[in-house]
Structure 1
Amino acid sequence: MHKFALISEDGKFVVLAYHSYLAKISVEFGAALEFLSFNGQAIVDFIADSQELVNNYRNYYSGAILAPFAGRIPNGTFTFQGNTYSFPLNNGENAIHGYVADKPFEVKSIGTTETSSHATLECKIEPINGFPFTYRCQASYEVNELGLHMEVKIINESENPMPCFLGFHPYFCHSEKINTCVLDFWPSEKYVMVNVIPTGEKIPYHHQKGEIGNEQYDDCFIVEKQEENLTAVLANPVTNLETYIYASPSMSHLQIYTPPHRASIAIEPQMAPANAFNLYPDAYSILPGQEMSFWCKIKAKVTN
């Protein structure tokens, strides 16, 4: 049986393989899920198809764990329990996608069993100017005959409650361009956006399953999970390959983004919309010594 778990010779990646699946996880960049294939076909991959994208693909947060926040915070500033906090600006006049995605992780365990290949990576984040909290991020990946399962935990090691909500930023691909792929998900509402930041206003929204075509997404939705917490499905009607994305009940929001090269599409489960610290003050936090977590599963199949 096709099964192994290893760290690449340069130490930059963990590679897990089992049965029909192979996953590549970045050690040097935030324990991100860089790549996942099914029967040799890439299903999770940003696809940097030009030298410019090869040089800059990290700016697209390929497979990143988003913590302690997802999306943009205008001016990087918010108030929590009466105190003002801030993150470094890394997206124009915004802070974006937390403070974990570019941090090196340590491989705490790696191995195989009769039924899976697995690894756990961890990083400790020290206080920074504007966000004086100590926390650990732990990412566990498992590949088995049913697909990939990941679980992420943030542990607050500070003496005070820490503002936090989580997200995950995988890019999915099925063909040369995503235009001919069929996207299915089940939103109930869509956030009104200004400068790609939710205003807090929501409007009813129904998604009609169909080809992505020329649709351009950079939107946040509240989603209704299906059986087993199914969140979205991406299908290639030519090859009949379908990818299923599941996320824990806490991941009640879905950000969808089409990058300019349209070789992949970001389908991002999140606990809350971008700018949630300002939209919903004090709503998302971790008590001292406690943890916040989510899980995500990805599987694929070829239909007849």
Structure 2
Amino acid sequence: MAAEARAYEGEFHGEAAVWLLAGDFEAAVLPRVGANLIALRHKSRGYRILREPEPGEMEAFKANPGVHGIPVLFPPNRYEDGRFPWKGKEYRFPINEPARNNRLHGFVHTLPWEVERYGADGGEARVVLSLRVDESHPIYAYLPHRFTLTLVYTLSEEGLHQQIRVRNDGEDEMPCLLAFHTAINAPFAPGSKAGDCRVKITVGKRWEMNERMLPTGRFQPLGPVEAELPASGISPYFEEMDNHYTAAPQDGRNRMELTDSRERVKLVYDVGTGFKHWMVWNGFNSGSFFCPEPQVNLVNAPNVSGLPPEEIGLIGLEPGAIWEETSRLYLIDLK
């Protein structure tokens, strides 16, 4: 028998939300705050898988919505001097990291998205959200292309499924630069501690970064503990992490696995092989959450010379073209 499923409009700490319920799972997405999927919970076990703002933190969250839930970054991460070249043009973005003179995290995680539809059937609850950019949209002044971003979140008794689609609606080739700044609670189970958590991520090489947190184009060796990140796994808090890696899929899958040894359960974040890079940030070694961030492109990719576009994820979409990828978040019991 299919799990009971529902989708409905409600609130999350006073902010308009679309809630999805399926079996023991529930999720909430905030259309007016970047279509951020702000909560993913397993009700009977009390798990809070994503980092959620508390009621008194909502104003601070809306002012800086990049470190809770699943923010959409487009274009993601840092761009040197707020500029990058593309097909003979230079795009200029406002600086929002003045200490390093970079543009950080793009635009779309702070903007309202449209709810196309929501509903439930066959044990699944679903919401479809979109952001359409044309000459009338404020983003167009900085990214002068007509395009549509579409997010589909589907919740079932198997967990959360995400589909992201970028469609070029214009007449010029456009860059497709995208990531998710996914904030995972570690631990996510009540009663567990940081020491109960071990993380494995399918990372490959680590990019060397300069003092502005921009890649030099070279790699640096992994430390002896860090080298176990793609193998047996390590503590997500073994040291302060703000590291950028190539993705190195294993068994055809590109994923993060967070194991709670006390609960004997594993959280899997399977992000699809279209994401060629990982950023891993642990909130200044917070001890409570970390961000395994799947990225299409290398940080500052359009400004990096001498490396193949395919290697750095510098993807162009011709007029009418669509880029699409899927991800999943789900649990595996190890008992």
Q: Tell me if both proteins adopt one fold, taking TM over 0.5 as the criterion.
A: yes
Distance (whole Å) between structure 1 residues aligned to residue 155 and residue 55 of structure 2: 30
Shift of 1:47: 4.0
Q: Provide the secondary structure at the position in 2 that maps to 1:238.
A: coil
- CA deviations on 1:55-94 (whole Å, 9 max, x unpaired) are 4334251311112x21111211011111111122222222
> Are residues 25 and 48 of structure 1, via their aligned partners in 2, closer, same or farther at CA, if it must alter by over 3 Å?
closer
- 1:140/1:184 CA distance change after superposition, 3 Å: same
The equivalent of 2:76 in structure 1 is 70
**What whole-Å deviation, never above 9, does each CA across 1:189-237 have from its counterpart, x for those lacking one?**
0011123222221235433412234421111111222336241101222
Is 1:124 the equivalent of 2:126? no
Q: Output aligned runs, 1:46-57, within 5 Å.
A: 46-48=51-53, 54-57=58-61
CA deviation string 1:93-152 (max 9, x = no partner): 221222211111111111111131111011112343332112111100101121111111
Taking the aligned partners of 2:38 and 2:193, their CA distance within structure 1 comes to 18
Matched letter for residue 287 of structure 2: R
Shift of 1:5: 0.7
The match for 1:207 is 228
What displacement does 1:248 show? 1.6
* Alignment match, 2:174: 162
Work out which of the residue numbers 170, 186, 198 in structure 2 matches 1:182: 198
Check conservation: 2:168, 2:317, Cα contact below 8 A. yes
1:257 aligns with 2:278: no
Aligned to 1:88: 94
- The answer on whether the counterparts of 1:38 and 1:300 sit within 8 Å (CA) in structure 2 is no
Aligned with residue 196 of structure 1, among 189, 198, 213: 213
TM-score, normalization: structure 1?
Answer: 0.90
Find the aligned partners of 1:235 and 1:183 in 2 and give their Cα distance.
Answer: 6
Secondary structure at the residue paired with 2:61?
A: helix
> Aligned pairs, how many?
302
Going from structure 1 to structure 2, the CA distance change for 1:286 and 1:177 (only over 3 Å counts) comes to: farther
Supply the distance in 1 between the matched residues of 2:304 and 2:217 (Cα, whole angstroms): 6
User: 2-side partners of 1:215 and 1:302: how far apart?
Assistant: 28
**Take 2:298 and 2:6, find their aligned partners in 1: how far apart are those partners?**
37
Name the counterpart of 1:5.
7
1:279 is aligned with what amino acid? V
- Give distance in 1, aligned partners of 2:251 and 2:156: 20
Give the unaligned 5+ runs of structure 2: none
Q: Aligned equivalents of 2:55 and 2:282: distance in 1? A: 16
Quote the Cα distance in structure 2 between the aligned partners of 1:60 and 1:262.
Answer: 20
CA distance in 2, matches of 1:201, 1:49: 40
Deviation at 1:180, TM superposition (A): 4.2
For 1:173-201, what per-residue CA distance to the aligned partner results, in whole angstroms no more than 9, with x for missing partners? Answer: 14276454211123220011123222221
User: Structure 1's 19 and 228: CA in aligned 2 closer, same or farther, altered over 3 A?
Assistant: farther
CA contact (8 A) 1:42 1:173 kept: no
Match in the other structure for 1:35: 39
Task: Write 1 or 2 for the structure with the bigger share of strand.
Answer: 1
Q: CA RMSD in A?
A: 2.3
Give the direction of change, closer, same or farther, for the CA distance of 1:11–1:50 in structure 2 (3 Å limit). closer
* The one of 295, 301, 304 aligned to 2:332: 301
Q: Which position in structure 2 is the counterpart of 1:112? A: 120
CA drift at 1:267: 0.9
